[in-house]
Amino acid sequence: MKAILVPEFVSDPSTLQPSDVSPPTPKPDQYLVRVTHCSPQHADILHAQGKHQNNNAKKGWCFPPFVLGYDFAGVVESLPSDGKRSVFKKGDQVFGAGIGAFAEYVCVPERQMRRIPKELSSETACAMSGQAVSYASVVNVAKVEKGETVLVSGASGGLGSVCCMVAKAKGARVIALAGDSEKAEAMRKDMAVDLVLLMEGDWIQKVMDFTNGEGVDVVLDNTGMVNDAIRCVAYFGRIVVLGFAARKGVMEDVKMNKLLLKSVTVMGYRFGESGRRYPKTLEEIWDGYLNMLKTGEMKAMIYGNYDGLEDVGRALKDLYDRKAYGKIVVKVADAQEVAKL
Ligand SMILES: NC(=O)c1ccc[n+]([C@@H]2O[C@H](COP(=O)([O-])OP(=O)(O)OC[C@H]3O[C@@H](n4cnc5c(N)ncnc54)[C@H](OP(=O)(O)O)[C@@H]3O)[C@@H](O)[C@H]2O)c1
């Protein structure tokens, strides 16, 4: 089959092109899924570059040679062989996260995929497969309440855009932070947020002005800006650390006295591990998240047009260059196509 193989870590993931590799062999608890769509995310770039915690020699699982990719939509090709009752049957359309998803086939355990609701296209399901984390960060972690003010960093990105939509749907006032003026302009048009701020100059003062000098109740931080967040969060405010997209692997030092002086709560949230430890809560999160999509309370924001695994390199480059806005989805195959395996 064709797949985006990483034979060794690369500095420029846009150079990655499809190669011929052996199709993956499912473990006894895994389904084989024929991939119809895949969606690159920030972590894929770090995986390919060898800069992610998953590349850690002691604790990680991501070492060359490996097939890149995580988020996918596709069609069930074969069921697990462990003899347990399977939730999905051959031909079901599913979406989720599977290691090595930038490929024609991927192996996925049941807990990492879901049926595509009839209201959603495969493209939409794929675009939204990685952002239940954003829903959970707003609803379960920050517990955002109606009338609160929420600041979102990396708001144009996959996680950030969904953080904004969920917080708005929960009745919050939302301030979205953008990295450049072109994106900020697009976000003002396309996103139903209350204020879009370019992260330059006196943006923190603008946040304070917008909140009458009080600061925001909640910061959802996707880029790694806790020190800035402390400066513009309200007394007793909450900061949720979701990611470090802007930190290039170098973490911030935070002065603890600043937290004490404002009685600030900083919370980290690791979606995958939380789901493994608390599967019942994970199901509630998915139900709530998918419900918002099914009812149209939230819509996928899909950027550009990417067709075939040959376009994965270009997709990674656009993500890396911060051109992308919302989510990139790469079409790999038609859902109806006759399987080759
Ligand atoms: N906590 C969890 O369980 C979890 C789960 C999945 C992902 N994550 C992490 O969450 C973060 C966001 O993920 P994502 O999928 O939303 O990423 P994404 O789609 O690439 O979005 C990241 C956003 O951050 C902004 N940004 C600012 N500086 C950047 C820089 N130097 N490089 C790249 N982007 C920069 C960009 O917006 P502007 O260009 O407008 O500034 C971009 O839209 C990542 O660190 C990811 O690893 C965490």
- Parse the chain into domains and list their residue ranges: 2-130+301-331, 132-272
Q: Given this model, what pLDDT does residue 25 score?
A: 97
Q: For all residues of the chain together, what is the average pLDDT?
A: 94
> The domain 2-130+301-331 is classified under which CATH number: 3.40.50.620, 3.90.550.50, 3.90.180.10, 3.40.50.720?
3.90.180.10
CA dihedral 192, 166, 152, 278 (to 10 degrees): -170
Closest CA to 276 of 84, 82, 112, 60: 112
- Note the pLDDT tens digit of each residue in 231-280: 999 999 999 999 998 998 789 999 999 999 999 999 999 999 999 999 99
Ligand 1 atom 21 nearest Cα: 157
Closest CA to 310 of 8, 14, 57: 14
Superfamily (CATH) of domain 132-272: NAD(P)-binding Rossmann-like Domain (3.40.50.720)
Q: What are 196's strand-pairing partners?
A: 176
How far does the centroid of ligand 1 lie from the alpha carbon of residue 97, in Å? 17
Q: pLDDT: is 181 or 61 the higher one?
A: 181
pLDDT at 339 over 60: no
Q: Which tokens is 297 given? A: 């309370």
Residue list, ligand 1 pocket, CB within 6 Å: 41-43, 133, 154, 156-160, 178-179, 183, 222-223, 242-246, 269-271, 319, 322
The arithmetic mean of pLDDT across residues 69-73, rounded, is 97
Q: Is residue 190 classed exposed, middle or buried when 0-12, 13-18 and 19+ CB atoms within 10 A define those classes?
A: middle
